[in-house]
Amino acid sequence: MHKFSIQVDPLTGEKFIDVPYKGHLLVENPLFNKGSAFSEMEREQLDLYGIFPPQVSTLDLQLRRAYENFVGKPSPVEKFIYLLSLLDRNETLHYGLVLGHLEEMLPIVYTPTVGEGAKTFSLLFRRPRGLYVAANRIHLIDRILESVPFSNISLVVATDGERILGLGDQGVGGMAIPIGKVSLYVVGAGLPPALCLPVLIDVGTNNEELLQNPLYMGLKHRRLTGEAYDNVVEEFAKGVKRHFPHALLQWEDFGKHNALRLLNNYRERICSFDDDIQGTGAIALATMYSAITIKKEQLKDQRYLFFGFGQAGYGIATTLVTALCEEGLSLEQAKERIFPVDKDGLITQGMAADEYQQPFVCSRDMVGSWKCRDKKKIDLLDTVANAGITVIIGVSGVAGAFTDDVLSQLVKNSKQPVVLALSNPTHKSECTPEQAFKATEGRCLMATGSPFAPVKTAEGLRVISQCNNMYVFPGVGLGAMISMTPRVTDQMFIKAAKAVAAMVDKKDLARGALLPDIKDIRKVSENVAYAVAMEARDSVLGIRLYDGEMRTVIRNSMWQPEYLPYRYNQ
């Protein structure tokens, strides 16, 4: 395997990259391909004469051409396919284009459009990207990992494709998510794309439509479970540790019966985290820090209802409990402020509840005096009314669940209720911003899981912040890598949330923004990485650098999409 590195000529000080190929082999590699931007000297030294038209382009000129192609595509899916094909041809150009048009292209690269990419993955497949670890080939894991182009992988994003966004089991199509997450790491935190590896662990699928589809490219049997499933994941994790001992492993979009279990099984054994649990918790907490700044209150002054209590709800709730305890509450007092509601109503004692939900089950004594239409199934509206809910958090995937009655009741509980409709894609949001502002007379503070346009209210145009994990996980990953911490702790995510919230200034808050502008994502990631690395250092887990040194190292590590000179090194 080749080791990717940016080198410096000791004589001239020029930055350059060693490349192991010439001619067509070089231009067929999207990490090295510059297209028409290869210089005359490179064309001569790397056997590129005749491969491209004679005019040498600049990166800026290529970006103009690429953008014209992008805007000419008639639909989001067509734009998604174009960006994916560009990624397969020229990664520097792809990332330069996305970084230059961030707000326009993030909904294409990731949610909501990536969901369509996952659903039609077998039709859209063009060329290999990342690794497919099939259960029936897990005994070959070392050979599979040895096929990676570069030996110094720093990040592995892995999924088994079972819980893709709000779409459920997409099998091998789940690979669209690690590919998208790697893109967000590169764009958001400047991780060099050569050091990032997306992985799909194929253990089968329970999606009947896929199993019956002759065009489906994954294993055509039902998902492995129990010991058979665990053995596959175990061999994969051990293989990653053997081959890339310093890499961060991000677990992504695993089913609720596996996600928390895998996180707990591996977080002490390998530097890893689950973005759906911990990243979601941190970005929701960052949003809440902004909201309570506007309200001039504290977290402990709020009453929180979760509609949907899977891994995302659990992640937000546990992160909130940690933050509430920082404000002086006991663990029990913190949990008493949290009310989980699922399809069977408020989760109370005596109801069937998953193991991870048990710490948040509400006591029957607490609800005994409530006035409810049905005491056997205390629904969303009755919980909001009786518990005095001031913050409602939707992670259910149930479109329209936050009805006008529910939203109107919130205003009776708080002058400025907080509405976080976090389900995505867009069509699964618990309510739209227009509905929320109308029902609350423009008084709510709102963020959503998918992008929404600003909304006109009586008080002016209100910005709708997208509660996007991208504000957190790229910086957490970068901070973990820079600090060389052996594990990612819950406290690192608390520090990350505070770093994000600290970037929302008074002018943004006045417009209703609860999170920074996404165009500032590189600065956000830098601040998050710094907060995480400092927490690692101060908890004796990371490298010891002075504050200013840590900041400099983080800034210098962030890759920029630019063409550096190449030198052939066979």
Count Cα neighbours of 238 within 13 Å in the Cβ-side half-sphere: 11
Beta carbons of 222 and 204 less than 8 angstroms apart: yes
CA–CA gap between residue 186 and residue 193 (Å, rounded): 6
Judged by DSSP in three states, 456 sits in strand
Residue type, 514: L
**CA-angle at 320, arms to 317 and 323, nearest 5°:** 155
Do 35 and 89 contact (CB within 8 A), yes or no?
yes
Burial of 134 (0-12, 13-18, 19+ CB in 10 A): middle
Could you count the other beta carbons within 10 Å of the beta carbon of residue 102? 18
Distance of CA 163 to the CA centre of its chain: 14
Contact between 66 and 86 under an 8 Å Cβ cutoff? The reply is yes
Distance from C-alpha of 196 to C-alpha of 30, rounded to nearest angstrom? 14
Q: Going by DSSP bridges, is the β-strand pair 248-251/196-202 parallel, antiparallel, or unpaired? A: unpaired
CB 529 within 8 A of CB 542: no
181 catalytically annotated: yes
Q: Are strands 460-462 and 418-421 parallel, antiparallel or unpaired?
A: unpaired
Rg value, the chain, Cα: 24
Residue indicated by tokens 């979009």: 253
CA distance 430 to 393: 9
**DSSP-assigned letter for residue 223:** P
**How many other β-carbons are positioned within 10 Å of the β-carbon of residue 519?**
12
Structure tokens given for 30: 């999207």
84 neighbors 124 (Cβ within 8 angstroms): yes
**Neighbouring C-beta atoms of residue 230, cutoff 10 Å:** 15
CA quadruple 128, 129, 134, 140: dihedral positive or negative?
A: positive
Q: What is the H or E stretch that residue 326 is in?
A: helix 311-326
Nearest to 501 by CA among 299, 329, 312, 303: 299
Of 34, 79, 82, 110, which one is the catalytic site residue?
Answer: 110
> Do residues 319 and 493 make contact, with C-beta atoms less than 8 angstroms apart?
yes
Q: Which residues fall within 8 angstroms of residue 417, CB to CB, at 6 or more apart?
A: 389, 390, 391, 392, 407, 410, 411, 440, 443, 444, 445
Alpha helices in 244-279 (DSSP H): 256-266
Q: Which residues contact 13 (CB under 8 A, 6 or more apart)?
A: none
As given in the structure block, the two tokens for residue 339 are: 């009310």
The residues that are catalytic are 110, 181
